[in-house]
Structure 1
Amino acid sequence: MQRCLRRKAGWLLRWGTAIVASLAAAGTVAALEPELGMFRLTISGESIEGSPLAIGTDTVCFLSRDGKLWNLPRSATKAWQQIGDRFRPYAPSEFRAELLRELGDGYEVSGTTHYLIAHPRGQKDRWATRFEELYRNFVRYFRVRGFTSQTPPYPLVGIVCRNRDEFRRITQQSGQTVSENVLGYYDRLSNRILIYDIAATSEAMRVASTDDAVIYHEATHQMAFNTGLHERTGETPLWLAEGLATLFEAPGIYDASAHPSLIDRINRGRLAEFRSRLRKRHTEEVIRYTIGSDAIFRDHVELAYPESWALVFYLTEKHPREFARYLRVTASRPAFGKYRATDRLRDFLQCFGGDWKMLNARFLRFIDSLP
């Protein structure tokens, strides 16, 4: 089930990347929010307020006040109305009201310092605190490794559905289709996490570790794209995004104070997959292939996730300062630009050194040493 979940998560990240990259292909010029101000426009009878991030020949990338990214036709700008000099996100009360309108009866919205979590009534303590604790651990993990995260510009939104049927209904309303084995996902365009309460379903699916893995994986995507590790309007390498998300599935990563040992930081499932599927045939060319493009997720998805986890785990354990620098490099690339293979490989080598064969040897020696 987790493998299907990861495929879906990767697909959503690629979909978001494809939309912003399509603007670049159309001759997009990126624009700064404060310079263009805030506008109101109507699409299919729906009023949207926000700011354009980029305008291409045929399309506009529009950031609405609730943090959603919209890929709109250029014609939508003909009738828009300027309503402010600068972009202003929704206040928490406006976010809360919008979520309750969308979800209807049976839900309440709980707020923490960084989150607004919509969940079944009476379950605040079960969900809101859990997400906030994960956020604090996430920030701490990267701070001690030399990366200072940014504060999200608006509350991070999570929706916890009561059951699988509601999860499917809300997903379909958003225009997406998921397989029966998908347990949750982060949508880069809406900037939301959508999951359902696995423990409330059948006995066969009451597996706490699976529930945790879904939450921590998808929450890591959301936090990374909102705290400066990744850029939502840029082309983030998928191995990096999915490697970080699988990294945070391990208890020693998402809660290091309670699980301080190296053994706790290892994602046992991904390590087993790497050893059974990749170890005997792993060369420096596999690393170059993974880093140089996202093709491994399209052509060899069963190898993509263990390879990405293993690379990120090695780099964060053995080269944390260089990894922090690499995060800054990839996140600071121009918005809406294509991240070509030559640039991906160059950026990686500038941060971690230029000997691919030596890198592979040290990487495999580290993986082989893991208990």
Structure 2
Amino acid sequence: MRGDGSKRWTRRAWLGRPARLALTAAGLRLASSPALGQEAKPGEDEEAAVRDAAKAARLAGVAAARSEHFLAVGDAPAGYLRGALDRCEGLGKDFLAHFRARGFEVAYPPRRLTVVGLKDDASYGALLGEAPGKDVGGHFDLDTNRLVIFDFREGGGLEKADAETINLFALVHETSHQLCFNTGLLDRAHVPPLCVSEGLATYVELWRPGVRNAIGGVNKPRLKALGNARDWIDLADLISEDAAFEDDRQQLAYAEGWLLIHYLMRSPGRQARLRRYLASVRKEGAKTPAARLKLAEAALGSLSKLNREVKDEARNFFRR
């Protein structure tokens, strides 16, 4: 994690580019987003809070839509907002079913989760107070607990199929973060190492509407990034520090994060270890590298042994 001490670096932004109809591996950027305002407190009007932020950014035509578990607010067309809600609900249903079937106690929070849907990258930049850059597709904001996405079909210079692919990928990856932090897997007060939070998001990110068992499948883009790498990051290093997600090892860090969670979720015994670990992180948290390692080893066992096992898992994939 990077920062200059004067900002809280919490904005999680998705980075990636389309390669025709397939996406390259996504990356992560951490930054602050003060323009989003503050999360509405219990009893306060979340829609009004988002509208106030949009008004301050001089966005016009802001509308809202609701589903059972989500609230969508933004200047995107009504069809885009409704489509986002439908996909969030579909993903949420499959997300809860998948993790419950594996012994994780997960449930929606009492209030709706917020999706800020914007019509294009210009609106996204106006709301955040900074240009998003050509590789940013949206983010989940830990401070406000809001998912912020925009429509790549408007003004992006992309073919329609590519733009729709990015729209779906960005929505699913970032909604995965929102679900993890709001259904009981993770806690925003005690954020885990990025290899865990991003590992969970990449474990879920290939979900598609109407596709059975998409969550937890083999993530071929991440596996390809792993195969293209010339090195391996020791899991102890990934768990103790997040630096690999911010330098030229970024794609490898994402790939190893996916493989770590995929491996732990493949057997009931390892699932139990992951449940213990996530429970410890939610309860205690760990801010220093030493504390992160101690907490991980207490729940997951020897990290050197786990590192060998996950590395062997990678070799097994490439032998198939």
Q: Deviation string for 1:21-66 (max 9, x for gaps)?
A: xxxxxxxxxxxxxxxxxxxxxxxxxxx9xxxxxxxxxxxxxxx661
Q: Which of these residues, 37, 40, 43, is aligned with residue 66 of structure 1?
A: 40
Q: Which of these residues, 17, 21, 27, is aligned with residue 6 of structure 1?
A: 27
Instruction: Give 1:219-258 correspondences, 5 Å limit.
Output: 219-251=175-207, 258=211
Bigger fraction of residues in helix: 1
Report the Cα distance in structure 1 between the residues aligned to 2:303 and 2:39, rounded to whole angstroms.
Answer: 46
TM-score (norm 2): 0.78
In the TM superposition, what is the alpha-carbon distance from 1:206 to its structure 2 partner? 3.6
Larger radius of gyration: 1
Report the Cα distance in structure 2 between the residues aligned to 1:277 and 1:352, rounded to whole angstroms.
Answer: 26
Report the Cα distance in structure 2 between the residues aligned to 1:314 and 1:164, rounded to whole angstroms.
Answer: 36
Unmatched segments (≥5 aa) in structure 1: 17-47, 49-63, 68-87
Say if 2:100 is the partner of 1:146.
Answer: no
RMSD: 2.9
Tell me what 1:53 maps to.
none
Rate the CA distance shift 1:287–1:205 in 2: closer, same or farther, 3 A. farther
In the TM superposition, what is the alpha-carbon distance from 1:236 to its structure 2 partner? 2.0
> Mean Cα displacement is larger for which, 117-126 or 218-227?
117-126
In the TM superposition, what is the alpha-carbon distance from 1:290 to its structure 2 partner? 0.8
Q: Which residue identity does 2:266 align to in structure 1?
A: E
Aligned 8 A contact 1:234 1:331 in 2: yes
Instruction: Give 1:122-133 correspondences, 5 Å limit.
Output: 122-123=78-79, 124-133=81-90
Instruction: Give 1:76-95 correspondences, 5 Å limit.
Output: 88-90=42-44, 94-95=45-46
TM-score (norm 1): 0.68
Q: Deviation string for 1:242-279 (max 9, x for gaps)?
A: 1111222123xx66x733379x812111111111115x
Q: Which residue identity does 1:122 align to in structure 2?
A: A
Q: Which of these residues, 114, 117, 127, is aligned with residue 160 of structure 1?
A: 117
Report the Cα distance in structure 1 between the residues aligned to 2:43 and 2:217, rounded to whole angstroms.
Answer: 37
Aligned 8 A contact 1:292 1:345 in 2: yes
Rate the CA distance shift 1:4–1:239 in 2: closer, same or farther, 3 A. same
Q: Which consecutive aligned stretches of 4+ in structure 1 deviate over 6 angstroms post-superposition?
A: none
Report the Cα distance in structure 2 between the residues aligned to 1:136 and 1:154, rounded to whole angstroms.
Answer: 16
Tell me what 2:47 maps to.
96
Rate the CA distance shift 1:89–1:238 in 2: closer, same or farther, 3 A. farther
Report the Cα distance in structure 2 between the residues aligned to 1:238 and 1:177, rounded to whole angstroms.
Answer: 25
In the TM superposition, what is the alpha-carbon distance from 1:161 to its structure 2 partner? 0.8
Q: Which residue identity does 1:204 align to in structure 2?
A: E
Say if 2:308 is the partner of 1:361.
Answer: yes
Tell me what 2:64 maps to.
109
Q: Which residue identity does 1:66 align to in structure 2?
A: A
Q: Which of these residues, 132, 143, 167, is aligned with residue 178 of structure 1?
A: 132
> How many equivalent residue pairs?
284
Q: Which residue identity does 2:312 align to in structure 1?
A: R
